[in-house]
Amino acid sequence: MSEVVDPRLIARSLVDHWSPRIVGEIDDSFLKVAKVKGEFPWHSHEDEDEMFMVLDGKLSIHMEDRTVELTVGEVFVVPKGVRHHPVAKDECLILLIERKSTKHMGGVVMERTRTIEQQWNQQ
């Protein structure tokens, strides 16, 4: 994908919370946006780091040993293997950079789980 995109506009247009949409590719990684609100289940990505950047709002990322609070423009990388639990009290827009091998929810399968195909085609 070689076109100009505004990740905030794309994230704002999403209907479902916690359902990322792929907006680009960087080598072996996907650039994704999501609209989030409430709590996302505890999970980890055993072999991949996960980068979060807040585009609008506030996001807390709870880990077993600490919690980080992110606001607009701030970035945090959850290291591979670290269990984490993202929480947004109010609606928040985020940008994610994840390796293409990263499974949504760390491989946990439930109603919220999205496949890569669903993340490409989400409206």
DSSP 8-state secondary structure symbol assigned to residue 102? P
Q: What is the pLDDT of residue 45?
A: 86
What is the C-alpha separation between 114 and 21, in angstroms, rounded? 10
What is the C-alpha separation between 123 and 121, in angstroms, rounded? 6
What is the C-alpha separation between 77 and 120, in angstroms, rounded? 23
Question: 55-86, pLDDT tens digit by residue?
Answer: 999 999 999 999 999 999 999 999 999 999 99
Q: What is the pLDDT of residue 101?
A: 72
Question: Most distant CA pair in the chain: distance in Å?
Answer: 40
Question: 51-61, pLDDT tens digit by residue?
Answer: 999 999 999 99
Judge: domain 7-121, CATH 1.10.10.10.
no
Question: 1-52, pLDDT tens digit by residue?
Answer: 578 889 999 999 999 999 899 999 999 999 999 999 999 989 898 888 999 9
Map out the domains of the chain as residue ranges. Answer: 7-121
